[in-house]
Amino acid sequence: MNMNAGSGVSDGDRFQICPQRVASPAISDFAKTMAPRANRASSRRMNLDADKKKNGLAQLVLTVVKLLHELLEKQAIRRIDGGGLTDEEIERLGFTLMRQSEEIAKIAREFGLEEDDLNLDLGPLGKLL
């Protein structure tokens, strides 16, 4: 972009730069979007139930925890197959992963979520888990 020194106008006059502000055709669209709801032509509101928000957040958090749990299981299997663990470590690891899985299921039940609720649909990518 080649600016004329001191003119404040760009080549093609697409926008003007003043010391205090920038004027652009897109600025007015942005201003309309950011205007308070009373000034907008249509006011679209989402009616969110507090319980649904809580369960939605619990579902998201448990999905992430379950994903991490499954990654840990896969890593544990790689380490076991690689021969890098003793029998005692394998036993401890298996017990820990089993307890972790039980705890995830218990928390999901407390929020009224089922196993399939923790498997998010990623559209064209398929299911998460």
Q: What does 55-120 look like in DSSP terms, one character per residue?
A: HHHHHHHHHHHHHHHHHHHHHHHHHHHTT-S-HHHHHHHHHHHHHHHHHHHHHHHHTT--GGGGS-
CB of 48 closer than 8 Å to CB of 90: no
Locate the domains of the chain by residue range. Answer: 50-125
- The reported pLDDT for the residue numbered 4 is 47
What whole-number distance in Å separates Cα of residue 129 and Cα of residue 115?
10
Residue type, 92: R
- Tens digits of residue pLDDT in 55-84: 788 888 999 999 999 999 999 999 999 998
Nearest residue to 104 via CA among 75, 69, 73:
69
CB of 96 closer than 8 Å to CB of 104: no
| Model-wide pTM > 0.95 | no
Q: How far apart are the first and last CA of the chain?
A: 49
- Tens digits of residue pLDDT in 27-48: 666 666 666 655 444 445 545 5
